[in-house]
Structure 1
Amino acid sequence: MIEASGLTKRYGNTVAVNNLSFAVAAGKVTGFLGPNGAGKSTTMRMILGLDNPTSGQVVIGGKRYHELKDPLRTVGALLDAKWVHPNRSARAHLSWMAKSNRIPTSRVEEVLDTVGLTSVADKRAGGFSLGMSQRLGIAAALLGDPEVLLFDEPVNGLDPEGILWIRKFMHRLAEEGRTVFVSSHLLSEMALTASDLIVIGKGQLIAQSTTEEFVARAAENTVKVRSPQLPALREQLVRASAQVTDSGNALIVSGMDSDKIGEIAASANLVLHELSPQTGSLEQAFMQITGDSVEYHTGLEAEAQQAFQPTAR
């Protein structure tokens, strides 16, 4: 488990992280989201002891990172896929990391095989594509078979097959009881990968919840209804105080769940061809909830923010 308490980081007059507290539980994939400049990278660096907090603390299993003995056996991390010395081979890079933390050299071959780099293990890392570098970074994170894993933008440069692989792999790691903490700008991918979310903006906590709860908090859930008797059904729903909008050959109903709509239709002897709840997306929820925390808006971003605001009916 990762626990942050009152975590604050200042650079001169700039507050990058401001009194941030959260907990990342084991056995789940937890997404770490926020607009650019929200303080995500600074927070992850403080978790790993690469930056010292101005105040507050963050612990991993009750210990600060520098208190861990052989830390790669406890925590694995991918923050920058290109930090590897360009003249080292993938095998050599992983081998010296293994020796530094008393990890058996046999583990090097295991992780190379896991990430699909065995065939290029003796090639210079400087010649790797971004996708191959990402795989090498993931291999390094897995090297010590750690209980806690941190990934910053792990799918950058991966092809669709690679993205699907890392998504399933993260789920498997969580199912094994590990703590998996993932930062990403790809909200559609986070919606498929993370069961829990921690969302920050301007260095402060905005939300910590399940992904489902986060989307439901922002989105106005509606129900799509199709019937060969739409005018009569519309009249019944409006009479019952539902908000109804016409949408082609269907009605979009808000302020009433599908069970109640079905009961109203049945009591009026009206036929239903479709009764399907419509939920918002993680992208819509993120833009709506973090809108006030974005440092800079382009014209297109402003239009998107406006488009995702709920409209009165």
Structure 2
Amino acid sequence: MIEAKGLTKRYGDTLAVNDLSFQVRPGTVTGFLGPNGAGKSTTMRMILGLDRPTKGTATVNGKHYHELKHPLRTVGALLEARWVHPNRSARAHLTWLAKANGIPKRRVEDVLDIVGLTSVASKRAGGFSLGMSQRLGIAGALLGDPEVLLFDEPVNGLDPEGILWMRKFMHRLADEGRTVLVSSHLLSEMSLTANELVVIGKGELVAQSSTADFVARATEQTVRVRSPQLSVLVDVLSGEDVGVREEDGGVVVSGMDSESIGELAAKHSIVLHELSPQQGSLEQAFMHLTGDTVEYATQ
């Protein structure tokens, strides 16, 4: 488990993270979201002991990173895919990491196979595509078979096939009981990947909840209705305390659930061709709850 308590980080007069507290539980993929400049990368760096908090604590399984006896066997991280020496092969890079952390050399071949890089393991990392570099970074994160994994923008620059692979891979890690924290700006992808969300803005916690609850709380729930007796339906609905707007040959109703609309239509013998609950998107919910925390707002 990852836990932040009152986490605060100042750089001179700049308050990057302010009294931030949250938990990331094992067995689930947790999305770490926030506008640019919200403090996500700074927070992840403090969890990994790369930055020291001004105040507060960030722990992994109850310990600070520097207290971990074998860090790579407890925590794996991908913060920057291109940090590998360009003249080293993928296998040489992972072998060096394994030796430096007391990890058996046979584990190198295991992780190369897991991420699908066995066939290119002898090639220079400098010639890798971004997608291959991301996979090599993940191989490094998995090298110690850690319980806790952090990924910063792991799908940046990937093609659709690579994104799908990454999504399934994250789910598999969580299904194995690992703690998985993923930072990303691709909200449509996070809605498919993350079961839980930690959302921050201006270094402060905006929300922590399941993805479904976050969307439901921050967006309007509506029902799309189509009927050959649309004008009659609209007249009936006008007598109720609901919102009705016409859209693409039907109406969108807010303020009444699909069951109630169906019962009302049946009472007035109105034939329905469609009765579909509509949910807002993660992007809509995110913009609604973080709109006043963006660093640069468009007019």
Give the TM interval when normalised to the shorter protein.
over 0.9
Paired residues for 1:159-178 under 5 Å:
159-178=159-178
> Deviation string for 1:84-134 (max 9, x for gaps)?
112211111111111122211111001111111112111221222211111
- What SS class does the counterpart of residue 31 from structure 2 fall into? strand
CA distance in 2, matches of 1:130, 1:251: 45
Establish whether residue 15 from structure 1 lines up as the match of residue 19 from structure 2.
no
> Deviation string for 1:256-275 (max 9, x for gaps)?
00011011011111111110
Structure 2 equivalent of residue 282 of structure 1: 282
TM-score (norm. length: structure 2): 0.98
CA distance in 1, matches of 2:280, 2:118: 42
CA distance in 1, matches of 2:241, 2:133: 57
> Deviation string for 1:195-227 (max 9, x for gaps)?
110000110000101111111112111100111
Counterpart AA for 1:44: M
Give 1:240 deviation, angstroms.
2.1
CA distance in 2, matches of 1:204, 1:99: 39
- What SS class does the counterpart of residue 138 from structure 2 fall into? helix
Runs (5+) with no aligned partner, structure 2: none
Counterpart AA for 2:296: Y
Structure 2 equivalent of residue 202 of structure 1: 202
Structure 2 equivalent of residue 52 of structure 1: 52
CA contact (8 A) 1:76 1:144 kept: yes
> Deviation string for 1:130-153 (max 9, x for gaps)?
111111001001111111000001
Counterpart AA for 1:78: L
Structure 1 equivalent of residue 126 of structure 2: 126
CA distance in 1, matches of 2:49, 2:248: 57
- What SS class does the counterpart of residue 171 from structure 1 fall into? helix
CA distance in 1, matches of 2:229, 2:68: 68
Structure 1 equivalent of residue 65 of structure 2: 65
Paired residues for 1:131-146 under 5 Å:
131-146=131-146
Give 1:279 deviation, angstroms.
0.9
Q: Which moved more, 1:247-256 or 1:51-60?
A: 247-256
Q: Which moved more, 1:228-237 or 1:50-59?
A: 228-237
CA distance in 2, matches of 1:157, 1:106: 30
Structure 1 equivalent of residue 151 of structure 2: 151
CA distance in 2, matches of 1:197, 1:253: 29
CA distance in 1, matches of 2:69, 2:204: 31
CA distance in 2, matches of 1:215, 1:255: 17
Paired residues for 1:98-117 under 5 Å:
98-117=98-117
Structure 2 equivalent of residue 311 of structure 1: none
Counterpart AA for 1:294: V
CA distance in 1, matches of 2:87, 2:248: 62
Give 1:248 deviation, angstroms.
3.7
Q: Which moved more, 1:229-238 or 1:204-213?
A: 229-238
CA distance in 2, matches of 1:144, 1:113: 15
Paired residues for 1:158-237 under 5 Å:
158-237=158-237
Paired residues for 1:12-51 under 5 Å:
12-51=12-51
Runs (5+) with no aligned partner, structure 1: 303-313
Counterpart AA for 1:141: A
- What SS class does the counterpart of residue 66 from structure 1 fall into? helix
CA distance in 2, matches of 1:128, 1:244: 53
Give 1:245 deviation, angstroms.
1.1
CA distance in 1, matches of 2:131, 2:227: 49
Give 1:157 deviation, angstroms.
2.5
Q: Identity of paired residues, percent?
A: 75
CA contact (8 A) 1:223 1:257 kept: yes
CA distance in 1, matches of 2:135, 2:58: 28
- What SS class does the counterpart of residue 145 from structure 2 fall into? coil
> Runs of 4 or more off by more than 2 Å in structure 1?
none
Counterpart AA for 2:196: D
CA contact (8 A) 1:134 1:157 kept: no
CA distance in 1, matches of 2:120, 2:171: 26
